[in-house]
Chains A and B, each alone.
Chain A
Amino acid sequence: MTEHKYLMFLGCAIPYRVAAYEISARKILQRLGVEIVEMPEFNCCGLPLDPVSHETMLILAARNLAIAEQKGLDIVALCPGCAGTLKKVSKMLREDKHLCEEINGRLKEAGLEYKGTVTSKHLLQVLVEDVGLEKIKEMIVRPLTNMKVAEHNGCHILRPKEYIGFDDPEDPKTLKTLIEATGATCLDYMDETECCGAPSVGVNDKIALQLARDKLNHIKTVDAQALITICPFCHIMYDTNELRIEKMFNEVYGIPILHYPQLLGLAMGMSPEELAFNELRVDCSKILGQVCEGGK
């Protein structure tokens, strides 16, 4: 029997180029008894356009919330940017009656209305708050006890604190705890909460890549075997760009970048194939060989 039921909010980056995250997240949610319903209609959460038009962002986010309300289901987002935006806009509209009326005036044009009846969560929150650590630990059949990894939360799952209200942005513990539930060791390193740089891509690529390089350097220093992410944009910065960063700055990393559901899926006994490890750019064969026979 399913105890939890959510509308899946995929966002734009995941279907565009981060399939492994979606595939592995759906697999673990199914195994953990979380029922997923697809959004009947979708538009971008609005975050990418906030810098140029705050009003557009508010309308786009409120549209999605209103659509979710029609379905009567809470939202689970895999992207912290989407989760954060939907949370922030919910809070703004609930607390500012005038703003809510203004946005609803817009939504009315499309036969929609925001009422404030659904909540939005990131995948990580569903895992710790709904499924619970105990249940996750019960599902571990292949503890990853010989793996030493590092985590990267990214910014939007934690900040701005006032709107997100999840974990401690200065010393986040949730992802670490979830990693340790798989049996793996989660290493501390310098500047753990530093931004990946993704939002600067397209405006100033060099700064973005320097930020990502900084992170990879810190992780290399502590000999992490992999970096675990929970955001499609952070993943693109480190996995898709790792080779580019190595060439640009004359560095050697070879650090695999895993989506958290891939790590958890491995510990739950799923195969690398099921968890779409083949979609990752950086070679994972070394760590996979350590976990499963023949790396399969």
Chain B
Amino acid sequence: MTETAEKPIKASEIDSKFKYEISKMHGGEKVMRCFQCGTCTSDCPVARFSETYRPRQIIRMAQLGLRDRVLNSDTLWLCAACFTCTDRCPQDVEVASVIRVLRNLAAEKGIVPQVFKEEASSILESGYAYRIPELRLKKRETSGLPPLPKGNPQSVGKTLREISFLKCVEKKGG
């Protein structure tokens, strides 16, 4: 049994509106189509090496309305976004996109793994997702590469104003 399935489900945990909330979001529209065939899990490269990550289970939990259980689950963050499940799903559920919707909902609750905070703060600072060392920039010149296009943090900041996830990044300093 996986970590998220260990405890028996209580009726009080079930939020019957959860699936409708998911299906209103981009990528989550087809969550209710899943009939639990398991193609996603059997073809998932991560599931092959993880004892807990099972995309089929995540979809079922979402359908059942186990909001807190699924959003608080660490396994939600293991998806490598290879989209094999999406391409092979016989019901066209767009499994990887449903999982992304769930991650977005977790992020809105403030659950954001450190790696994403670092990338977000770097993008806000420089436009690039990673902090490119000065040495690398100098080496471009000696390698005959053109200067790196500049970011425009002020302009990026304007277009991303009031996105709730970014507030959590700024507050915690990335």
Contact = CB atoms under 8 A, between A and B. Distances in A.
Q: Do A and B bind?
A: yes
Contact of B159 (A107, A198, A208): A107
A51 B80 contact: no
Contacts, number: 181
B166 A161 contact: no
A39 B47 CA distance: 39
B123 A207 contact: no
A41 interface: yes
Given A199-B80, A203-B78, A19 B145 contact: yes
B100 interface: yes
A20 B96 CA distance: 32
Interface in A133-169: 155-156, 159-161, 169
Interface in A29-73: 38-44, 48-56, 59-60, 63
Interface residues of A, number: 60
Contacts of A23: 143-145
B45 A15 contact: no
Given A49-B123, A52-B103, 19 more contacts: A12-B132, A41-B150, A43-B127, A43-B151, A43-B152, A54-B26, A54-B100, A56-B160, A56-B163, A56-B165, A63-B156, A110-B158, A159-B86, A160-B83, A195-B46, A195-B80, A198-B80, A199-B82, A276-B143
Interface of A: 10, 12-13, 15-17, 19, 22-23, 26, 38-44, 48-56, 59-60, 63, 92, 99, 106-107, 109-112, 155-156, 159-161, 169-170, 193-195, 197-200, 202-204, 206-208, 210-211, 276
A112 B127 CA distance: 16
